[in-house]
Chain A
Amino acid sequence: MKTLVVYPNKELLYAASTLGGEITALVFSQKEAEALAGKAHRILVAEIDPKSPDAVAEAVIKAFPGHDLVMLPSTKNARTVGGLIAQRLGAEFLTDVLSLRAEGGVIKAERYVFGNKAVATVEAQLPAVVSIALGRFQGEPPTVQSIVERVEEVAIAPKVKILSVEEKPRGAVKLEEAEIIVSVGRGFKKKEDLQMAFELAKVLGGQVGCSRPIAADLKWLPEEHWVGLSGKKVKPKLYLAIGISGQPQHIAGILDSRIIAAINNDPSAPIFQNADYGVVEDLYKIVPILINKISKLKAK
């Protein structure tokens, strides 16, 4: 097995190492190559703009001969690169895989499908392309001898030109790493009322998350708070959903939470089917009580 890892990070290199064989890492600057020394058998440097899926796809196509598998992270640009190269290689592209193994020229992977209501076991012939679901492959890649080479003459006239880049406003929110998340949904009537959730999160020592409408439609919170299929996928020990109905896209983002608790005044809200503990109650009545009781508890 010879795996070409694009946009390499620790998780990808570890995932690639579980398949055995040789690992090539494709990077986009000399600096990146130096940081990766000892972590891949070959390090290929293509000096192109990593932000351009066009250009990255060209570099991958150029570097691919002699490899069996391309491995990518599950980012939007990597997914675009994966689609482009898979079609050109006539290969399957297995996205967001949860597990991975190779036997006799075939790659086998599991992934969530059908709104995360089922797990598919998918098989594809090598060569193939895979992207790795975030946080699923935890381990240390073994230390190896690295050779650094350059990829020459990548056709670098991307058809899509980047005119400007604007960073999204980022606060101190790191939902992916949070142990406790208090998440808010349409059950809150005004933006100001979210203050209650922030207070509750504070007494619990957690962060505030939200469902899609709060971030995308109402824009009451920046998108970094958004939990779900198109937002963040989280894995806290406690996910407390307040006033969230529990659309499948939201549930998809919280599957890996250890305990899910939900507060909603509608007893038929789908969130209750996906929760360990559900409280049928008006959030405006119960949240202040929770803040009060929990802060007393913590003060002890």
Chain B
Amino acid sequence: MNLEIILHAGLATGTILLFAAIGEIFSERAGVLNLGVEGMMLMGAMAGFSTSLSTGNVWLGLLAALIAGGILSLAHGLVTIHFQADQVVSGLSLTFLGTGLALVLGEGLTGKNPPLVPSFSIPGLEAIPFIGPVFFTNHSLLVYVGYLFAPLAWYYIFHTRPGLHLRAVGEKPDAADTMGVSVYGLRYLYVFIGGCLAGLAGATISLSVSPGWYSAQTTSGQGWIAVGLVIFAQWNPLRAAFGAYLFGALRRGILDLQGPAILLGMKNPLYVNSNFGFFLQMTPYILTILALVIGSRQAARKRLGAPAALGLPYIRGERGL
């Protein structure tokens, strides 16, 4: 159990949640709750894996993952933005649709070896003690992209003009409409971006972190954990990144607990009976619940909450609803 190794692997695992959670933040900041993350991720994992396999080009694979997640999210956009359907139910159907479609199209992909996203070290930075080996040595390109992505997303949402419009659409769509901001257009755009990022998160699994296609086990609920993280992060990309890496490290640490025979000077119960590992496997899900309890209580105390119009369809001409 080497802390450097756990944190190193945790960053890679956390990158999956990071992309998915920030994608969901974009969508929810625009007022559209999309519970289809799990389905879009699975679709992205399948499309990325299968495209990389068939073309032999991993970049085309990543592009396919982005597009697959994005296109799938548009179904949710159409149904919730134009047809004003319930966002919860539509998101659930998107999960079914995405999962089903990924399983149908992903038939026969198991056990194949496509080109994967390359890993490399950052020269110079890798020499820093501790920080270097953990953050800058032999990581997938996607992990490095993730480092930059969270601060950029944060800056975009809170400190740019388009970011202001994005928040306005999610907080006060009627006011945004009056100011000439296209509520429908922006909602479609950010739902699409959220879908693209969920697809990328899926490809991060299948083409980088745990390469391969294992049908529904590929994501094993990480899409839902990402949705939970968004609430914990109170719709802030930086908090989401922190949560994602924390979760990634914990997930990895838990895996590594099953290795050593002696733990804290005692015989490791997991070494004696590997079935105790089932309890360890529960921890990410239990932690998600705990994170939600903490996040919800903080939100209640500080009155920091969801975007005001989250989950509500916007209907033109019915202002002040």
Same complex: no
B interface list, Cβ under 8 A from A: none
Instruction: List residues of A whose CB falls within 8 A of some B CB.
Output: none
